[in-house]
Amino acid sequence: MRRSPLAVTLLLACLTVQPMLPVQAQAPAVEPPVTAGPVVAETGPADGFTLKPRWEFGIGGGYLDSFDYPGSSDPNRRGIALPFFVYRSPVVRLGDGGLRAVALERARFKVDVSFGGGLSSSAESGGVRDGLPDLDFLFEVGPRAQLVFVNRAMPDGGRWQFSSSAALRYVVSTDFSSLDGLGVLGELGLSAVRRRVAGTRFDLIARLNAVVAEDRLHEYYYEVAPRFATATRAAFDAGSGYLGSELFLGAAYRPTPRVRLFAGIGQSLNGGAANEGSPLFETGEATGFAIGFAWTLAQSEDSVGIVDVD
């Protein structure tokens, strides 16, 4: 996921029907006990919870314009269109921004185990990684805690939401023939969401994340072994520490209840990173964007109550 943080963030936003900028929460945020089973529509959601279909199926697509890794200037552009499937239960969530196993869920506090990934990339001819091994796909798994500070209904029918999160994840890289462990990263985030702005079908989101990681992940991005050193690329021994931050701004619009259009822009802020001195670290700032859509073709009649503040 740290391969191209913006690309992965936007890919999930464009292809999941659980919006990163959704149109949901219906009740005031008061901490209830964890529900023992799915909340059904006849009884309504518990305070702070939102009713969502147990499953949804549809088609999504989008275009991404991002970069290979934090501090890289090499573009990583992808267009994608494919079917999606979302499944929600009190314990397992598939498709709402990834795969998660929920350990604890209350209106103001949630703990889960999440899974993520990152895009592969090839070294650009003549670029700073020319001659170095390609970067493989990344996969992550680990616990995440989320604290909801504000989940307030507005007079126009919309909602303000403000939350923070902290995550630890173990990272591996793979070319699908083998796995290589890249150690643990830690992530802190702040998120603000304004749903149904001024009573419209527009949602807005702002998110700021900061990441630190142990040396193996930094080495994967920034290490230059002596055998790969050239006259313009000195050998470099990467170490652990601050990897970078990202500011993300996005908007979503629902022309119909089952169709969502999305656009977002992300600004990587990598100044002061632990390995800023690497010859593979090209820039302290980089901007990427994405546009996308999600169209739900079918969904279940029964519902599940979830805390929807992501």
Domains and CATH numbers, the chain: 5-306 (2.40.230)
CA 77, 82, 87 angle in degrees (round to 5)?
120
Sign of the C-alpha dihedral computed for residues 220, 222, 223 and 226 taken in this order: positive
pLDDT at position 44 is: 60
pLDDT at position 153 is: 87
Structure-token match 């303000």, residue found: 160
Task: Provide the β-strand partners of residue 269.
Answer: 245, 285
CA distance 58 to 293: 11
CA distance 165 to 193: 14
End-to-end Cα, the chain, rounded Å: 17
pLDDT in 10s for each residue of the chain, 310 residues: 344 444 444 444 444 333 332 323 333 333 334 444 444 444 567 777 888 999 999 999 999 999 889 999 888 888 989 999 999 999 998 877 678 899 998 889 999 998 877 778 777 767 899 999 889 999 999 999 999 999 888 998 888 999 999 999 999 999 888 899 999 999 999 999 999 999 999 999 999 999 999 999 999 999 999 999 999 999 999 999 999 999 999 999 999 999 999 999 999 999 999 999 999 999 999 999 999 999 999 999 999 988 877 6
Question: Residue 38 to residues 33, 46, 215: CA-CA distances in angstroms?
Answer: 13, 11, 42
Which residue from 124, 6, 115 is spatially nearest to 62, judged by alpha carbons?
A: 6
pLDDT at position 97 is: 67
pLDDT at position 301 is: 94
What pTM did the predictor assign? Answer: 0.80
pLDDT at position 218 is: 97
Beta carbons of 185 and 211 less than 8 angstroms apart: yes
DSSP collapsed to 3 states, the chain: CCCCHHHHHHHHHHHCCCCCCCCCCCCCCCCCCCCCCCCCCCCCCCCCCEEEECEEEEEEEEEEEEECCCCCCCEEEEEEEEEEEEEECCCEEECCCCEEEEEEECCCEEEEEEEEEECCECCCCCCCCCCCCCECEEEEEEEEEEEEEEEEECCCCCEEEEEEEEEEEEEEEECCCCEEEEEEEEEEEEEEEEECHHHCCEEEEEEEEEEEECHHHHHHHHCECHHHCCCCCCCECCCCEEEEEEEEEEEEEEEECCEEEEEEEEEEECCCCCCCCCCCCCCCEEEEEEEEEEEEEEECCCEEEECCCC
CA distance 244 to 213: 10
Determine how many CB atoms are found less than 10 A away from the CB of residue 219: 20
pLDDT at position 75 is: 85
Structure-token match 């890249």, residue found: 182
Structure-token match 């009713």, residue found: 51
Structure-token match 């998110």, residue found: 207
